[in-house]
Amino acid sequence: MPLESAPFSADEYTRRIVKTRQAMESAGVEVLFVTDPSNQAWLTGYDGWSFYVHQGVILTMEGDPHWWGRYMDSLGALRTCWMEAATIHGYADNYVQSTVRHPMQDLARIVRDLGFEKARIGVEMENYYYSAKAHAVLTAELPDARIVDVTALVNWQRLVKSDEEIAFIRKAAKISDKIVRTAIDRAEPGLRKNELVAEIFHAGISGVGDIWGDYPAIVPLTPSGLDATAAHLTWNGDPMRKGEATFFELSGCYRRYHAPLCRTVYLGTPPAEMREAEKAQIEGIEAGLDAARAGNRTCDIANAFVNVLKTYGIQREGRCGYAIGLSYPPDWGERTASIRAEDETLLEPGMTFHFMPALWMKSWGLETTEPILITESGPAEPFCTVERRLFVKD
């Protein structure tokens, strides 16, 4: 039974477990070991900044999931997971970053104790927190097991959100609106970028009324000028300058749920080509939102956007978005469906994406994006309310 403090209802966790077991059955695995912190949290409620050591959740076809990790973090698991204490396992501290023993030896012992030493065990081979070494040790320790790759098996179960989850994303979106507006309002020539980011962090973590701000899975990205032609550069202490565009790639976060939102500010008078690109981008976003309907596919959104750009003579390659929801660093994407030409995921009501039709050009970057919800009928619903345009401050 969920703890009082667990983010979701008992029914919600039951729904997740049932859905995951169906996927396990399809994949032909009797045991699932997940290391992705967002999958751990989704299944058990576990929440802590402890993913820098080996930990994970074991799910079999019967009974509650088991949480396994460092002993000191098992105390956090007792305080955040909905399961009984008997399913929480902690390993000794001398396994941590040791050159003579590995935590996966302890995990293998638990798998054996549970009677699964000859089982088909699914692991997440493409995950930040399942290293090549972890896999090598686990495989060697369980020679009679059949260890198979089920990367993203749980992530795909997360794609369609429950009403409880959508309510969390709506709260995150309120914070996103607040922090993007804060960034636009404060931006001015001479303001040091780190000062601006300090304001953004303050606004985001303070939250909105009762909606307290959690940490986003990616820090605020706020590059200006030529730095904005590259993606993912973080800030420094340089001042903002007249004649430069700065984009804000930010997300509010409520209890680990995200609603990423981007806007761009130009200090001064933007070049004509940027104004033209703005027009193309906004028209393209409208076309994309209109294509983002239940029954269509993710590629339809990308194609609708790119086709509008083409009428403006703009060539645009690369991904235009990804599924969003519950996340931990280093990425707020769910790593399942992408909005891109080659992705044919069927859109269903309750799916949530960051529609991210950013333009990174030779001398500037223009990011205007929307976190969106696929609805029962009609175009996608944007979660946020910040006006969709290039913000110009003279």
Comparing CB distances to a second copy, the nearer of 72 and 167 is 72
Surface-to-core class of residue 321, CB atoms within 10 Å of its CB (0-12 exposed, 13-18 middle, 19+ buried): buried
What contacts 104, CB < 8 A, 6 or more positions away?
A: 54, 134, 137, 138, 141
Q: Is residue 127 at the binding interface for a second copy, with CB under 8 A as the rule?
A: yes
**Considering the rule CB under 8 A, would residue 76 count as an interface residue with a second copy?**
yes
8 binds a second copy (CB under 8 A): no
Binding mask 290-319 for a second copy (x = CB under 8 A): ---------------------------xxx
Secondary structure, 3-state, 156-179: HHCCECCHHHHHHHHHHHHHHHHH
Determine, following the binding rule CB under 8 A, whether residue 191 of this chain makes contact with a second copy. no
DSSP, res 345? P
Please identify which residue in 25, 84, 93, 344 interacts with a second copy, judged by CB under 8 A: 93
Residue 248 touches a second copy, criterion: CB under 8 A: no
Taking contact as CB under 8 A, which single stretch among the options 119-127, 176-184, 271-279, 346-354 is the one that binds a second copy? 119-127
- Between residues 293 and 328, which has the closer beta carbon with respect to a second copy? 328
Rounded Cα distance between 68 and 71, Å, is: 9
Which residues contact residue 391 at a Cβ distance below 8 angstroms, ignoring those fewer than 6 apart? 184, 263, 264, 265, 266
**Core vs surface per residue 232-264: b (16+ CB within 10 A) or e:** eeebeeeebeeebbbbbbbbbbbebbbbbbbbb
Question: Measured from the CB atom, is 284 or 382 closer to a second copy?
Answer: 284
| C-beta of 49 vs 312, nearer to a second copy | 49
| For a second copy, the closer CB: 39 or 382 | 39
Residue with tokens 């060697």: 140
Which residues lie across from 360 on neighbouring strands?
365
Q: Does 229 bind a second copy (CB under 8 A)?
A: yes
Show contacts with a second copy in window 329-368 (CB under 8 A): 329-331, 333, 335, 338, 340, 342, 360
177 binds a second copy (CB under 8 A): no
Which residues are CB-contacts of 29 (< 8 A; sequence separation ≥ 6)?
A: 119, 120, 121, 122, 148, 150
**Taking contact as CB under 8 A, which single stretch among the options 44-52, 165-173, 264-272, 383-391 is the one that binds a second copy?**
44-52
Note whether 141 binds a second copy by CB under 8 A.
no
Q: Which stretch binds a second copy (CB under 8 A): 230-238, 263-271, 307-315, 369-377?
A: 230-238
* Lookup result for tokens 């029954």: 295
Q: Which is nearer to a second copy, 129 or 266 (CB)?
A: 129
- DSSP-assigned letter for residue 241: -
Closer to a second copy by CB, 77 or 293: give it.
77
Q: Which of 78, 114, 166, 314 binds a second copy (CB under 8 A)?
A: 78
